[in-house]
Amino acid sequence: MTSSPQGTPGPVPDPDEPLTPTAEQFLAVQKSEEFGQLRRSFRGFAIPMTIAFLVWYLSYVLLSTYATGFMSIQVVGYLNLGTIFGFSQFLMTFLITWAYIRHANKSLDPISSRIRGELEGTE
The length of the chain is 123
Q: SS3 of 37, please?
A: helix
| Separation in Å, CA 84 to CA 15, 37, 78, 99 | 57, 39, 11, 22
Q: Which residue has the higher pLDDT, 15 or 118?
A: 118
Q: What is the mean pLDDT of residues 68-97?
A: 95
Dump pLDDT digits (tens) for 8-59: 565 655 666 767 888 898 898 899 999 999 999 999 999 999 999 999 999 9
Residue 82 has pLDDT above 50, yes or no: yes
Q: SS3 of 11, please?
A: coil
Overall pTM surpassing 0.85 (yes/no): no
DSSP of 56-122: HHHHHHHHHHH-HHHHT-EEETTEEHHHHHHHHHHHHHHHHHHHHHHHIIIIIHHHHHHHHHHHHT-
